[in-house]
Each structure stands twice: as structure tokens, then as C-alpha cells.
């Protein structure tokens, strides 16, 4: 898909003055260490972006949700796009780590498949809407967003591909093709399960999808 023009995003006005930190104490939620403040802002931004979408969410709304003044928000993130990308990076890293951890947690390949599928279902079920930024984003045509989403898919698939290549002796290209198929299956079925609430329990859904994938991938002979 050819990317369209980048979406407009809010930037800090040139005439916006940064208020002295002491004067902010009465408006903001105390003086937090920088890392804690950043985490607080990212949480508020995730809520705003998942509820309203990128374009409708405003920096004013996010500042209110975080309980800080707008200048404090701009001290950490100079534009709404920068804030959105930071939220995206946080949850992409979380998902990629979960997939890598699932694969490294056992040497049994059938369990690797199940735990990889479980990781996707857990992420979609427990991340408070973060998955919508990764899989249903209204910003997916923004080049910087698309690059990150492509990297996420590649990094998850690379972890799976490495095991396939070692176990079967298939080429790097063939192993990656199969891995992309597994990752894509996990993403789509997990989203379908969530959108069709009640169709089955999460445990049943994970078992169904894992069995489907394992029956396919186990058909490739192991390398002697």
C-alpha cells in the first residue's frame, strides 16, 4: 500500500511558555521522577487514543486525564505524533518480548506453538485496548507508524522463523514465510475471538488455534 501524506499533528506553539516547575505543583499531581511522569502520561495517552482515536484525541484531553498542565505534557512530548509513537513503541516492545519469551520458555515445539498463541490472546485480552493501536490503528498509513507495525510483525516472525529453520533445515526465506503465516493467524484469530465475545473461552480458543497451527507445521520433517 502506498503511504498517503502524513497525518497532521499537534505541535507545541512557538509562544507557549514553559511554566516554572514550582508553579505547576498546585496544578499537577505532585513532583514525580521523570520516568514515572512519562509512564503516567503514556497511560493517559493510551486511554485517549483508544477511546477517541488519534485525530479526535487532543493534547488538552490527555493532559487532563494525566492530571498535569499542558506545558508539562509538552516538556515530555513536543507533539501529539511524538506521544502517539511513544505509546506505540511501548506496547510493540511488550508484545515482541512476550512472543520471544514464549518461544524461549520451552524446547518442545508443540508447547512453543501453544505459548506463542497464548501470548497473543493474553496481549489482546489484558492490555486495555493497546492492541487496537497495533492492529486497528487509524494511523496505519502514517509512514512512521507503518514502519513500526512492520517491524513488530517482522520481529515476532523472526523469533518463530529461527526455530523453524533450525528444526527443519528449511531456508531462511521459507522459514520466514511460514513464520509470517503463524503470526498472522495468531493476530487475526485473537482479534476475532475478542470481537465475538462468548464464542468460546480464551483457553478453548487458544487450544483450537494452537492445534490447527501445530498440525500444519509438524508436517514438515525434522532435520536429522
Contacts of 221 (CB under 8 A, 6+ apart): 168
Q: What is the pLDDT of residues 144-163, one digit of tens each?
A: 999 999 999 999 999 999 99
Q: Where are the alpha helices (DSSP H) in the chain?
A: 21-24, 34-52, 59-66, 70-76, 80-104, 109-126, 130-135, 143-168, 172-195, 202-217
Cell numbers that stand for 178 in this block: 511460514
| Mean pLDDT within 16-45 | 67
pLDDT at 138: 80
Going from the N-terminus, what domains does the chain have, and what CATH number goes with each? 21-78 (1.10.10.60), 85-217 (1.10.357.10)
Cell numbers that stand for 88 in this block: 506505540
pLDDT at 22: 40
Q: What is the pLDDT of residues 158-179, one digit of tens each?
A: 999 999 999 999 999 999 999 9
Phi-psi domain of 197 (left: phi exceeds 0; alpha: psi -120 through 50; beta: other): beta
Q: What is the pLDDT of residues 112-149, one digit of tens each?
A: 999 999 999 999 987 667 888 888 888 888 999 999 99
Residue 16 confidence class, pLDDT cut points 50, 70, 90: very low
pLDDT at 133: 82
Q: What is the pLDDT of residues 193-218, one digit of tens each?
A: 988 866 789 999 999 999 999 999 98
CA distance 17 to 10: 16
Query: With contact defined as beta carbons under 8 Å apart, do 217 and 181 qualify?
Result: no
| Mean pLDDT within 49-64 | 94
Amino acid at each position: 500500500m502506498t503511504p498517503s501524506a502524513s497525518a497532521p499533528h499537534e505541535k507545541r506553539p512557538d509562544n507557549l511558555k514553559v511554566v516554572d516547575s514550582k508553579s505547576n505543583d498546585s496544578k499537577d499531581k505532585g513532583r514525580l521522577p521523570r520516568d514515572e511522569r512519562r509512564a503516567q502520561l503514556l497511560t493517559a495517552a493510551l486511554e485517549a487514543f483508544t477511546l477517541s482515536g488519534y485525530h479526535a484525541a487532543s493534547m488538552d484531553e490527555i493532559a487532563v486525564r494525566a492530571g498535569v498542565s499542558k506545558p508539562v505534557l509538552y516538556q515530555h512530548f513536543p507533539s501529539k505524533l511524538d506521544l502517539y509513537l511513544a505509546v506505540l513503541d511501548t506496547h510493540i516492545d511488550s508484545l515482541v518480548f512476550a512472543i520471544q519469551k514464549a518461544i524461549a520458555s520451552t524446547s518442545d515445539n508443540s508447547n512453543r506453538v501453544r505459548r506463542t498463541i497464548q501470548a497473543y490472546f493474553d496481549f489482546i485480552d489484558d492490555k486495555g485496548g493497546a492492541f487496537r493501536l497495533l492492529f486497528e490503528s487509524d494511523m496505519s498509513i502514517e509512514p512512521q507508524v507503518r514502519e513500526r507495525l512492520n517491524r513488530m510483525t517482522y520481529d515476532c516472525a523472526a523469533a518463530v522463523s529461527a526455530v523453524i529453520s533450525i528444526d527443519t533445515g528449511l531456508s531462511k526465506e521459507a522459514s520466514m514465510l511460514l513464520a509470517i503465516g503463524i503470526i498472522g493467524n495468531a493476530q487475526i484469530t485473537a482479534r476475532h475471538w475478542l470481537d465475538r465475545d462468548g464464542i468460546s473461552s480464551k483457553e478453548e480458543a487458544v487450544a483450537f488455534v494452537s492445534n490447527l497451527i501445530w498440525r500444519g507445521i509438524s508436517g514438515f520433517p525434522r532435520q536429522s
